């Protein structure tokens, strides 16, 4: 099926990057970023395989910086002659680039990498037939969990194994690796008046840790409990964001805490380090070294060792996420937050955002709400959020809360506020921190009051 060597050791990638780096000329800064991955996805429908894909990707990106001019080129192969030609192309591209006084490759800063768990053998031990069986079992479990389930839109198993080697003339030499598997399902429920959708998913480093029945059960419950939903009159109420919905709020915040956003003048909080921007109940740290996160990594996209970075502590802004370029541009140090693939130059992104636990279970937080909404799904984030002004207007579905009791389902309503008000309006943070498939750790979060637009 492939002539790529087994993924896991990284020796071949590092050796290739070192050999190509030997072509660097005097006065050049050269970085070789080599990556490869394998992924499998199985979609089931009607008790059988609907689609099965096995994908492999490999390629190299090369940056060459000469006299403040950066050139970049990439190739979708690990063929050494092609990679050497890519270096020559990057060198040529640098000739036509504008001088950038902040251009330069990352340099070792003495931080030791923390190696996250890496177990590709667990995924490799599961044959294709076993992966197919999991997807089919997931669809069957969702279809049979409740008589009101009329179909399954998606039932899928997927896994991924990858590794990246980064070597540069500034002394960087790094190897990052990751492997994980996941299940996802979307169930359809009908009561002769409407059709509702409930989705759920889970991920793990070992496929054997995935629970088919649990994933299907949650998806079906989320679909069934929305039957009979409709709009309610416009009002102001408390909003309870369960962990997977709270990530939407937190991702909006983290998106403004990027050095790229600051440089481009698109961060709401660019000049507010040391100031209160959120409720004192909120503390966030980006910590890709935490092995509990599936997004844990040893190195960032420039080969610097990952490290914890405080973002918000007790509601007070601590700082921003940076790669080497944004750090130099803003006169600070990189937080090892460079992100990239072999086809691009480094950007900036969070690694594994962890929210500090508060107090109370989800049920206890709900019991403390007199008039509110437990949000189940959010739609329209990309079109309904202005990241320059902070205005938020998104569609939601959920369950009404009255005097601490969960009531009827609600749909076709809109929540409106600003990101700034939502953060300052956080009235409770739960102790129920969940490690989510995307790598974040998030508890239930309650915003004390938001405007809800209904009929």
Q: What confidence tens digit (pLDDT) does each residue in 287-305 have?
A: 999 999 999 999 999 999 9
Are 164 and 113 found together in one domain? yes
Q: What is the pTM of this model?
A: 0.93
Question: How many Cβ atoms are within 10 Å of 67's Cβ, its own excluded?
Answer: 11
Are 32 and 114 found together in one domain? yes
CATH for 112: 3.30.2290.10
Are 167 and 274 found together in one domain? no
Please say whether the dihedral angle defined by the alpha carbons of residues 19, 20, 23 and 28, taken in this order, is positive or negative.
Answer: negative
pLDDT tens figures, 29-53? 999 999 999 999 999 999 999 999 9
Are 264 and 376 found together in one domain? yes
Are 348 and 208 found together in one domain? no
Of 165, 190, 219, the residue that ends a domain is: 219
Q: What is the pLDDT of residue 6?
A: 56
- What value does the mean pLDDT of the chain take? 95
Residue 224, domain member (yes or no): no
Q: What is the pLDDT of residue 3?
A: 39
SS (H, E, C) the chain: CCCCCCCCCCHHHHHHHHHHHCCCCCCCEEEEEEEEEEEEEEEEECCEEEEEEEEEEEEEEEEEEECCEEEEEEECCCCHHHHHHHHHHHHHHHHCCCCCCCCCCCCCCCCCCCCCCCCHHHHHCCCHHHHHHHHHHHHHHHHHCCCCEEEEEEEEEEEEEEEEEEEECCCCEEEEEEEEEEEEEEEEEECCCCEEEEEEEEEECCHHHCCHHHHHHHHHHHHHCCCCCECCCCEEEEEEECHHHHHHHHHHHHHHCEHHHHHCCCCCCCCCCCCECCCCCCCEEECCCCCCCCCCCCECCCCCECCCEEEEECCEECCCECCHHHHHHCCCCCCCCEECCCCCCCEECCCCEEECCCCCCHHHHHHCCCEEEEEEEEECHHHHECCCCCEEEEEEEEEEEECCEEEEEEEEEEEEEEHHHHHHCEEEECCCCEECCCCCEECCEEEEEEEEECC
Of 186, 219, 252, the residue that ends a domain is: 219
Residue 3, domain member (yes or no): no
Residue 6, domain member (yes or no): no
Domain containing 146 equals 11-219
Band (455; pLDDT cuts 50, 70, 90): confident
Asked if residue 5 has pLDDT above 80, the reply is no
Residue 225, domain member (yes or no): no
Asked if residue 4 has pLDDT above 80, the reply is no
pLDDT tens figures, 302-343? 999 999 999 999 999 999 999 999 999 999 999 999 999 999
The two three-digit tokens of residue 240, written as one number: 């309870």
Are 282 and 395 found together in one domain? yes
Are 134 and 114 found together in one domain? yes
The domain total for the chain is 2
Confirm if 348 and 339 have CB atoms less than 8 A apart.
yes
Are 212 and 356 found together in one domain? no
- Closest Cα to residue 110, out of 351, 333, 353? 333
Residue 2, domain member (yes or no): no
Residue 374, domain member (yes or no): yes
Angle of helix 212-224 versus helix 128-144 axis, rounded to 10 = 30
Largest CA distance in the chain: 74
Are 62 and 142 found together in one domain? yes
Of 187, 219, 251, the residue that ends a domain is: 219
Band (7; pLDDT cuts 50, 70, 90): low
Are 72 and 108 found together in one domain? yes
Are 240 and 205 found together in one domain? no
- Output 17-25 pairs: Cβ under 8 A, ≥24 positions apart: 17/60, 17/165, 17/166, 17/167, 18/167, 18/173, 19/80, 20/60, 20/62, 20/80, 20/83, 20/84, 20/87, 21/167, 21/168, 21/169, 23/84, 23/87, 24/64, 24/87, 24/169, 25/91
Are 238 and 295 found together in one domain? yes
pLDDT tens figures, 148-164? 999 999 999 999 999 99
Residue 208, domain member (yes or no): yes
pLDDT tens figures, 94-111? 999 999 999 999 999 999
Residue 4, domain member (yes or no): no
The two three-digit tokens of residue 40, written as one number: 């499998």
Angle of helix 11-21 versus helix 80-95 axis, rounded to 10 = 50
């Amino acid at each position: 099926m492939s002539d790529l060597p087994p993924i896991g050791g990284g020796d071949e990638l590092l050796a290739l990057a070192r050999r190509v780096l030997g072509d660097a000329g005097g006065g050049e800064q050269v970085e070789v970023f080599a990556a490869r991955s394998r992924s499998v996805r199985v979609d089931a429908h009607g008790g059988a395989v609907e689609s099965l894909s096995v994908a492999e990707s490999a390629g190299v990106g090369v940056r060459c910086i000469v006299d403040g001019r950066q050139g970049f080129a990439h190739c979708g192969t690990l063929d050494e002659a092609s990679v050497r030609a890519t270096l020559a192309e990057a060198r040529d591209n640098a000739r036509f680039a504008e001088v950038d006084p902040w251009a330069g490759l990352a340099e070792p800063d003495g931080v030791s990498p923390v190696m996250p768990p890496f177990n590709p053998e667990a995924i490799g031990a599961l044959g294709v037939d076993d992966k197919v069986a999991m997807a089919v079992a997931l669809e069957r479990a969702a279809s049979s969990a409740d008589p009101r389930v009329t179909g399954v839109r998606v039932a899928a198993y997927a896994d991924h194994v990858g590794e990246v080697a980064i070597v540069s003339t500034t002394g960087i030499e790094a190897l990052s690796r990751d492997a994980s598997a996941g299940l996802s399902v979307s169930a359809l429920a009908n009561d002769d008046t409407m059709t509702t959708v409930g989705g759920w998913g889970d991920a793990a480093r070992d496929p054997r840790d995935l629970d088919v029945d649990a994933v299907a059960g949650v998806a079906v419950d989320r679909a069934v409990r929305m039957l009979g939903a409709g709009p309610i009159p416009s009002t102001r109420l408390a909003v309870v964001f369960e962990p997977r919905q709270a990530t939407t709020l937190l991702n909006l915040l983290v998106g403004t805490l990027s050095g790229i956003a600051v440089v481009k003048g698109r961060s709401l909080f660019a000049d507010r380090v040391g100031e209160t921007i959120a409720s004192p109940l909120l503390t966030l740290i980006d910590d890709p070294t935490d092995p509990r996160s599936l997004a844990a990594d040893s190195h960032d996209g420039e080969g610097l060792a990952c490290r914890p970075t405080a973002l918000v502590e007790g509601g007070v802004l601590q700082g921003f996420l940076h790669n080497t370029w944004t750090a130099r541009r803003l006169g600070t140090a990189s937080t090892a937050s460079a992100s990239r693939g072999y086809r691009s130059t480094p950007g900036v992104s969070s690694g594994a955002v962890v929210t500090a636990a508060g107090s109370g279970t989800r049920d206890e937080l709900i019991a403390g709400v007199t008039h509110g909404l437990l949000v189940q799904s959010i739609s329209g984030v990309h079109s309904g959020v202005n990241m320059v002004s902070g205005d938020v207007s998104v569609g939601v579905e959920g369950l009404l809360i009255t005097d601490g009791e969960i009531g009827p389902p609600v749909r076709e309503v809109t929540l409106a506020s600003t990101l700034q008000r939502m953060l300052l309006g956080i009235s409770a943070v739960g102790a129920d921190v969940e490690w989510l498939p995307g790598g974040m750790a998030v508890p239930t979060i309650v915003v004390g009051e938001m405007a809800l637009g209904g009929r």
